[in-house]
Structure formats: structure tokens, C-alpha cells
Structure 1
């Protein structure tokens, strides 16, 4: 970021009112009668109703459209463990996206917790307030346990966007890229550089979509995750394969797909040259990808590239997922967000890319034309059809899988 952009960002957050979100009142408060209905004595009756039937909270309070965006500040953007309070601008920003793209209200909550148990207990105790919980910027491997235990304890959707949000968008783009390359997900050989929350969730989702576990190689700081290693946590162990490949160079040889969720410039031109015909490269480290698209295209003219950046084609942007996943889940009062719902989101996103692009999308991005192809494998974030297509698909998957209340 340039110095000017830093200054603009600080001014944006500070003026004219500090922060990015606020609370608005949804009922009239102009008369004494209004206030008597909003508070005492009128408020007593919905209290009695909810005490008799907790489901009435969805009828008489904002619970059904309210999501908590919660962090412990242990993995904020690319800044690392900056602490809970320093993560607040990001959590407020997530609230802005929820409201802008899916009209979902948000309370951001920053939890000072020294242990996963303390964090889990805190979130579980306040969960009745909300219709859903969006976990954010929590470091691996604790994030896996936190999400799993909260899902087990709570009867509202719990979703760690750093895991599943990126996974959904990447998987949708990958399905389209494979189609362009003339390859099937069942046959592809894929390498994932980065064995944290995003990498593991992405590989798990690809398996749900038909990828074969034995064809997936995960690479961490110590090399290929294989069955001979004794330093793997329980989450990496699920991706340990019996192979004699040990390095990232070894893993990339003849691979169809490279997915990077690691750091800048870690994927070399030699690695790209060693890949199979029509290679697919998702270099998702942000802001600096594992390989720059211009270098990838210079190295091979048959490569399909996606990044996490907005200044290149094929941006894998989480805003394409989490607002609509929660919208669909909240609309049917889902008890959880399950794999069926994530798979439905993947297919809905992938399908939308094949349809004619509305003029308003072209205008928003200053484009004269846009159609399915190597530079358009995933919808643009400002596509108005996203709110029309994704939530109904996710809601229907919730109904079909038995987790919808209505």
C-alpha cells in the first residue's frame, strides 16, 4: 500500500464518525405510546412469549437476522496475532459486507481468550443473542477445534469464513477452470501449498465434490504431508499420503492444479513448467500471490490463473460466499451450515458464470464485454444476481439435508 492509501484508510475509518458500522432503530419512537410498546410496560408480553417458547425470539426480536462476527485476533489478515482489539476494524468491515451484500445485521465481538476453551465457553454463553456465528481470523489449528465444538454445542449456524468461505469460492472457480481445461475433478492431481485453515478446508470441500484423496498433495513448511511424517496434527494427518515426493518441486511435477494459500513468490516458473498440460494455478496469497499472473502467463501460454486480488481477472473473493451462505441459512432458520449447503453454494456460483453478464456489472468494472472463459471463471462481487441465486440454493440444501427449521 502506498503512503497516500494508508492516510486515506485512516481518514476513512476516523471521520466523520469513528468506525464503519452503527445501530439503527426499526420501530417508531416518536410518542409516549411508542416508548411504552418498545420498553415498559409493553415489552413484558414478548418476554413472556419467549420464556414459554424460545422459538418466538425469531418472531419478536432481531435474532433471526443478526450474526455475530467474532475473533480472538490471533490471525488477522496477514498481520498475524495482533490481539482481539486490533482485529476490530476487520470485524467491522465484515459487518459492512454482510449488510451491503445480504442485508444481514452484525454485532462484531472481540474476545480476549488465552485458550480455545475460554473462547468456546465465551461464545457459547452469548450465542442465544444471534441467529448465526461467523468466526473470523482465528489461527490454526485451534480454529478447527473451536468451530467443531461450537457446532456441537449450538443449534445455530457456526461458520469459520477463513476456512469454508475461501474453499467455496475457490472450488467454484476450479470447477469452471477444469471444464475449460477439459479435465474432470475425479481425475485431477492437485497440490495445495499451505496446510492451515484455508488449505485443509479447501481440500476437504474438493473431496466432497468428487476429488480423490490420494490425488491431493498438501505441502507445509516442512514439505509434502506424507504418511512417514511424525510431526502432523490430527487435521494434517487426514491428508497424509503414501508417496516418495518430498518437496514442493516434487509435488508440482505433472500436477493439473496448484492452489496456493501461503505466501508471496513461493511458486516458481520451474514448478509451473513441470505441471501437466493446461495447468490451473490459484495463487491466493494476498496481497502478493505465490506467482504473479503476468509471470505465469509469460512462462506458459496455456495456464489458467486466479488470485485473491481485485486488480487481476478471476478474483477468489470471500464476499461471493459468506453473505449469501448466511442469508440462505437464516432464511430457513438452519441449525447449522453443513457440507450439502456448501456444495450447493459451489454449484450455484459456478453455474452463474456461464450466463450472460448484466450491463450493470460491465459498467461497475469498466468492461465492454465479459463471458465465460479463462479470464472469467467466477462471478464478480457486484453481480446483483448473487443474492437471487445463492441463498435459495443454500436454503433448499438445508431443507433437503434436514437442518432447516422452516
Structure 2
């Protein structure tokens, strides 16, 4: 297929037979005059009065409890950069499709024309009563940190920046499994993270929460290793400034058990990968072009475990493994926020699922005769139907246990998978 035909296929998919990927459906009977009087005036006045008297009744009488806003200002869309709010709409609609397909969560996609963080925060705060949760998407750093922190503080529903925490959860799930396969532990592993943006910061924070040691984490930006003697660090980078003599990326990678790339294409060489200690782990997650291709990495190392963000290689670090199910669990207990314990629970449940026998439906989706936990299968397939049984219960239980849930653990849920702390 030529580049032109691929482009036209994508455009036709979005344009035909109707523009876009979303529609709204009616969920109640609406065929008689009596049903009209219930759906609208005068019957609709009764739930209005109930919610006026008890705002929690909005979860009982409206779609709020299963409705998420996917919101962007279009300042960091895919790998395209600042496309503007309107041009981000196809991506936000796509996100909505994934929410609905994988976890039956309804979505309104909202594109906010606001480059100023204060304007964006104010807009989202004002429309928040409509929703049970807010998924922030494709917002450039460093504004994304300010926006998320302000909205978490101001709102009493979950606010989740998927580019930060969604990526972090999948990275953590895969890394736990890769480390075990390589005979290493998170507590002892030396980790280099190339890229100090939203995903890099969130990923390292989650790994530290799960047992990594700050002295073993070396975050790198364009100037090299982020260390305690630098005087040019933002507050988000400064929290990873370790006391170390390492200065260059070359020096850091040569001592790293784990390399996590969340930066840009072709930024790591074969020579650098060759210097890593025995049984290295390489997550080259720049998409669509990784920091180093699997072919180049394997040409110099036959003992590595590798992951990318691409679907045409094994071990795709794909956010669709996380956000639909994380919100499903949070919504089902009416959580006020998605906290660190819920993120840890999601990562551990996801990692545990990858260890289970792969069902035939997954083999068929991948057109494979055999797939099993191992160096080429460290995270579950997005087509694994058991994701809905593993992740939402774990997230819901963590929400209840940490006091951010408004309801009890749902009686229809299975007991969450208990993950033994292998670290």
C-alpha cells in the first residue's frame, strides 16, 4: 500500500458514511406521548428537584456516573505538536471510541481553544458538573502539570492526564515483568529515563512509588543527566536530581539495567545499547519512530528485552491497556480522584494478567498460533477480554481502601487479583 493510499484510507474512514466516529443514542423508551412527558416536562422536574436537594442523586438519575470528558487544547497532539484545539478533535473522538469499546464508558470529547493554563482550568472547572471524570489529553508540558494539579485540587471527580499516568502505568506493568524475566528487581535496578516531559516524570514517580530507589534513577534531558549540581532545573525535573558523578547520557546508559525512552526518534545508538550491563531492558517508546529500532538494538544485544510504542513489534506499551479500565473502576465506586494507590493497583493487575495463559481470542486477533508470558510478551494484548476483569476491580478496591470512593466495593465485581510484591 502506497503512502497516498494509506492516507486516503484514513481520510475515508473518518469521512464515510458519516463524518466522525461518534454518535449519541437514546437509552430510555421514547415512542409515546406519555414517555415524552416523562423524559421532558413535566416528568423531568422530579429528578431536578431530587438533585437540587441531594447532589449525589445526579448519579442515580442522570448519565453523570458513566460519562467522562476527554479534553484537550491541542498543544501536544500525537507527534504533531501544537495543532490547535480543533485539529485535535479526531484524536479525542478516537479516545472516546476506545473508552466505549473496551469499558462501556460514555464520552463527550471537548476541544478547548485556550493556550493559557488559567483559561483552560477555568473552562474545565465550570463544565465539570456534567461528568463523572475528566481525561486530559495532548496538553504540552509544563502546562499539563499545572493544569492537572489545579483541577485535582478544585474538583471532586477523577482528573487523569493519560499522557502522564496512563503511560506510566503501562511502563510499570511491563517493567515489573521484564525485570523478573531478566532476574533483576526494581529495588536494585539502575534506570535511565531519556525524556523529562510529562510521561517521563509520571513514569519515574510511579516506579519510585512501587519500589525503585531514587539513587538508581537517572533522568536525562537535552543537557544530559539531571543531577544535584545543576542550576537550570524546573521543579518537575528537580525532584529527580540525584547526587552523582554521571553527566552524559553515554555514561548513564553504560551503567543502566533499564533504559526508558520517552523522548524522540533515533536518539540512542547501537553503540550505547552495546555498553549496557548483562540482560538489559530497553523501552524505546517514541512513536512512531523509537529512540532505537528493535532491529538495531538486537543487532548488538541478544540478551535484551525490548518494548516500543508500535503495534508491529512485540511488547507494545499501549495506553489503551489502561485508561478505559482505570476509569471503569473509578466510576463504579464514584471515586473523587485517581490516586497513586489506584495507579499502582492498575499496574500490578495488568502485569499479573500478562502472566496468565493467553486465550484463543487473543491468538486469533494477532494471527498467532502461540503466545505466552516471556521476553516477547510482558504486557497483555489490548484484545484480551480479561482486562475488564483484572484492572477495574483492582482500581475500585484501591479507591475504597484509600477513602476516595463514595460507595462500597461493587457487589457484582469479582475479588481483585492479589499481586504478590515481587520487588
Is this a same-fold pair by TM over 0.5? Answer: yes
Once residues 250 and 4 of structure 1 are traced to their aligned partners in structure 2, the CA distance between those partners, rounded to angstroms, is 44
**1:206 corresponds to:** 207
TM-score with structure 2 setting the length: 0.95
- Decide whether the 8 Å contact of 2:168 with 2:203 is kept in 1: yes
Once residues 76 and 398 of structure 1 are traced to their aligned partners in structure 2, the CA distance between those partners, rounded to angstroms, is 30
Once residues 3 and 258 of structure 1 are traced to their aligned partners in structure 2, the CA distance between those partners, rounded to angstroms, is 35
**1:297 corresponds to:** 298
Q: How does 1:3-402 map to 2 (within 5 A)?
A: 3-402=4-403
Once residues 98 and 59 of structure 1 are traced to their aligned partners in structure 2, the CA distance between those partners, rounded to angstroms, is 21
Quote the offset at 1:244 in angstroms.
2.1
- Please report the RMSD computed on the Cα atoms of aligned residues, expressed in angstroms: 0.8
What SS class does the counterpart of residue 21 from structure 1 fall into? Answer: coil
Once residues 389 and 224 of structure 1 are traced to their aligned partners in structure 2, the CA distance between those partners, rounded to angstroms, is 37
Once residues 323 and 381 of structure 1 are traced to their aligned partners in structure 2, the CA distance between those partners, rounded to angstroms, is 11
What SS class does the counterpart of residue 112 from structure 1 fall into? Answer: coil
Once residues 388 and 114 of structure 1 are traced to their aligned partners in structure 2, the CA distance between those partners, rounded to angstroms, is 39
Quote the offset at 1:2 in angstroms.
2.0
What SS class does the counterpart of residue 218 from structure 1 fall into? Answer: strand
- 1:81-127 deviations in Å (ceiling 9; x for gaps): 11111100000000000000000000000111131111111100100
What SS class does the counterpart of residue 147 from structure 1 fall into? Answer: helix
- Decide whether the 8 Å contact of 2:75 with 2:115 is kept in 1: no
Once residues 85 and 78 of structure 1 are traced to their aligned partners in structure 2, the CA distance between those partners, rounded to angstroms, is 16
- Decide whether the 8 Å contact of 2:254 with 2:276 is kept in 1: yes
Once residues 89 and 307 of structure 2 are traced to their aligned partners in structure 1, the CA distance between those partners, rounded to angstroms, is 29
TM-score with structure 1 setting the length: 0.99
Higher mean displacement: 348-357 or 321-330: 348-357
Quote the offset at 1:9 in angstroms.
0.5
